[in-house]
Amino acid sequence: MSNPIRGKIDFDVDGETYSLQYTANGMCELEDAVGCTAMAFLNKLESAGEANLSFKDIRLLFWAGLQEHHPNMSVREAGALMTKAGGIAAAMEMTGKAVADSMPKPDASAGKPKGKKKKGTS
């Protein structure tokens, strides 16, 4: 079942359900495959612009998102699945949403002390 809080997106292809989710392990697999940090890779994709996006990069990102729930899937199998799931546009939409949902949201209370302030202190 999809879980947008955890960045998990389920989709069906040929009667089988697949799950796309960007976890620490999947991102580490991505880093191994691309030879740079996951954040550098994501920034590269974001700054490339639609006309300069690489199909290989999108396929790798899609593959990395499948690794948590489908660890034996190869990059080529992920590419075939991506095609069956609606092609490059559908894959970009799913990966974009799953990546965004997997990133921690800024916490409004971050950096604020916890507990009550003692009387007479500032």
Per-residue pLDDT for the chain (122 aa), expressed as one digit of tens each?
A: 555 556 799 999 999 999 999 999 999 999 999 999 999 999 988 888 777 888 999 999 999 999 999 999 999 999 999 999 999 999 999 998 998 888 766 655 555 555 555 566 55
pLDDT at 55: 92
Those residues with Cβ within 8 angstroms of residue 116's Cβ, 6 or more apart along the chain or in another chain: none
Tell me the C-alpha distance between 68 and 22, whole Å. 8
| Rounded distance between C-alpha atoms, residue 10 and residue 1, angstroms | 6
The SS3 assignment for 20 reads: strand
Burial of residue 115, with CB atoms counted within 10 A of its CB: 0-12 exposed, 13-18 middle, 19 or more buried? exposed
Q: In the prediction, which pLDDT does 115 show? A: 57
